[in-house]
């Protein structure tokens, strides 16, 4: 029954150390198999998604040595297969990066179609379009993506939709290609830039990452490197909203404030004080929260992965707000749960119309996906009474030690497994 039990009402106060970006780590781990030399990667978050990807890499002969909790040494010299079909790989979305990486280096791959969060249809047509443009033959074989290429040739690729995954997969497939690839309408997310920096540190020639045109000049080989993953923008943003919602004062440390600009701007707009230093951002929530309109957009717009967290805050604001989701079609599954906690939210199409309430009431709720799960935990922290959040395996896909970090900020939260644990928690928290 793994759940979080939360006794809400405490303002969260203090400092929290932000880990490495899950989504950058997934791309960079996959990319690391493209060199025969050892690669050392630091600041990998110890979360379920990175563990599953490393398990998949080990299944084809990649040797992964854990130097400490967040540092691995990867040796891919003895890869002995290109086929990753086991069921567990479907649990993570980013399994498809192995298609780009294996195809780019070994000219062949067989990878089970990805799963991941249940937030929408999540087609991969743009990935396939990009790979095909490079001369890679892509077919589907009963849920397995099969690629084969004689020679991979640089090309011109225009993405019809801005896709992080397709941008990363094309970069991976093009980095060892013959000639130059121009990728237009590319995603600009920080983890796209981080992957380009990692590959360049291995000898790749990638220019323009972070803009919407990326130019990749193929090189004949990649060499080893030592590289540290950027901090997780979404983990940081989640704690920033935890401050907003609990009337707290939280400093997120080890972050790149520039990556948090859209989040900081919205927090200020709804009445929080936000101050930045070189690698930290402090959020103080001392005034009543104000309503706002938000639309999720590709970077540098407001991230879809922060949409549930801001909705949790706006549901406590003094007035009416509209949250519009423009990236994924199924990202309001948490609304029913919030309504059970007393929120006044109506979903119409891809918008949530929110009328603020003074406070949430504790309830028994379920995490519908990774980010919504984290947002519901924050709602529980602001609620009166006890909240239990079920299905926390989703949250553990992307947040390392989430409840422990919250506890250090003064939250009353425990990870519980049995009814008895819940009784003990209730006795302790009164």
Q: What residues are labeled active site?
A: 117
Contacting residue, 32, 43, 76, 163, with ligand UD1 by CB under 6 A: 163
CB of 166 to ligand UD1, least distance (A): 5
5 versus 192: smaller Cβ distance to ligand UD1: 192
Contacting residue, 3, 35, 126, 262, with ligand UD1 by CB under 6 A: 126
- DSSP annotation of 296: B
From the list 225, 229, 230, the residue with the least C-alpha distance to 32 is 225
- DSSP annotation of 252: E
Taking CA atoms, 360 is separated from 244, 283, 322, 410, in Å, by: 14, 21, 19, 19
149 near ligand UD1, rule: CB under 6 A: no
- DSSP annotation of 350: T
171 near ligand UD1, rule: CB under 6 A: no
386 near ligand UD1, rule: CB under 6 A: no
| H helix intervals, 334-392 | 335-340, 370-382
CB of 7 to ligand UD1, least distance (A): 30
Contacting residue, 1, 65, 78, 123, with ligand UD1 by CB under 6 A: 123
7 versus 48: smaller Cβ distance to ligand UD1: 48
b/e sequence 198-233, b meaning 16+ C-beta within 10 Å: bbbebbbebebbbeeebbbebbeebebbebbbbbbb
Contacting residue, 47, 53, 166, 243, with ligand UD1 by CB under 6 A: 166
Span from 124-132, 248-256, 259-267, 282-290 in contact with ligand UD1 (CB under 6 A): 124-132
From the list 273, 265, 387, 305, the residue with the least C-alpha distance to 10 is 387
**Other C-beta atoms lying within 10 Å of the C-beta of residue 115:** 15
230 near ligand UD1, rule: CB under 6 A: no
CB of 304 to ligand UD1, least distance (A): 5
147 near ligand UD1, rule: CB under 6 A: no
Longest dimension (CA), the chain: 67
Separation between Cα atoms, residue 357 and residue 42, nearest integer Å: 43
Span from 28-36, 53-61, 123-131, 199-207 in contact with ligand UD1 (CB under 6 A): 123-131
Question: Which residues 301-340 are close enough to bind ligand UD1 by CB under 6 A?
Answer: 303-305, 327-328
136 near ligand UD1, rule: CB under 6 A: no
Contact 406, 400 (CB under 8 A): no
> Which three-class secondary structure state does DSSP give residue 4?
strand
26 near ligand UD1, rule: CB under 6 A: yes
User: Which chain residues interact with ligand UD1 by CB under 6 A?
Assistant: 23, 26, 93-94, 120, 122-127, 161, 163-166, 187, 303-305, 327-328
């Amino acid at each position: 029954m793994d759940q979080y039990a939360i006794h809400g009402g405490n303002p969260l106060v203090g400092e929290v150390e932000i880990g490495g970006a899950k989504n950058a780590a997934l791309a960079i781990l996959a990319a690391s198999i493209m060199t025969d030399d050892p690669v050392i990667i630091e600041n990998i978050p110890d979360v379920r998604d990175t563990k599953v990807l490393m398990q998949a890499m080990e299944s084809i002969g990649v040797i992964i040595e854990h130097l400490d909790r967040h540092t691995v040494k990867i040796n891919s010299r003895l890869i002995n297969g290109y086929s990753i079909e086991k069921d567990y790989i479907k649990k993570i979305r980013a399994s498809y990066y192995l298609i780009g990486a294996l195809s780019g280096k070994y000219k062949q791959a067989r990878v089970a179609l990805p799963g991941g969060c249940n937030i929408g249809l999540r087609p991969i047509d743009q990935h396939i379009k990009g790979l095909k443009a490079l001369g890679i033959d892509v077919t589907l074989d009963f849920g397995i993506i099969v690629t084969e290429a004689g020679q991979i040739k640089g090309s011109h690729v225009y993405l019809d939709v801005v896709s992080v995954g397709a941008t990363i997969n094309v970069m991976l497939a093009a980095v060892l290609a013959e000639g130059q690839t121009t990728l237009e309408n590319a995603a600009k997310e920080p983890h796209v830039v981080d992957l380009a920096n990692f590959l360049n540190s291995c000898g790749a020639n990638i220019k323009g990452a972070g803009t919407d045109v990326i130019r990749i000049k193929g090189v004949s080989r990649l060499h080893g490197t030592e590289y540290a993953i950027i901090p997780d923008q979404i983990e940081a943003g989640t704690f920033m909203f935890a401050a907003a919602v609990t009337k707290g004062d939280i400093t997120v440390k080890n972050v790149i404030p520039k990556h948090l600009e859209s989040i900081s701007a919205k927090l200020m707009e709804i009445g929080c004080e936000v101050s930045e230093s070189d690698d930290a951002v402090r959020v103080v929530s001392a005034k009543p929260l104000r309503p706002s309109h938000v639309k999720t957009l590709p970077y540098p717009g407001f991230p879809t992965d922060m949409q549930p967290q801001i909705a949790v805050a706006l549901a406590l604001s003094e007035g009416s707000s509209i949250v519009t989701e423009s990236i994924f079609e199924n990202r309001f599954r948490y609304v029913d749960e919030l309504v059970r906690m007393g929120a006044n939210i109506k979903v119409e199409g891809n918008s949530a119309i929110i009328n603020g309430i003074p406070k949430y009431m504790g309830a028994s709720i379920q995490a519908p996906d990774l980010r919504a799960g984290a947002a519901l935990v924050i709602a529980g922290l602001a609620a009166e009474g006890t909240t239990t959040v079920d299905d926390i395996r989703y949250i553990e896909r992307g947040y390392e030690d989430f409840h422990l970090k919250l506890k250090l900020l003064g939250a009353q939260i425990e990870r519980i497994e049995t009814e008895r644990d819940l009784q003990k928690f209730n006795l302790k928290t009164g």
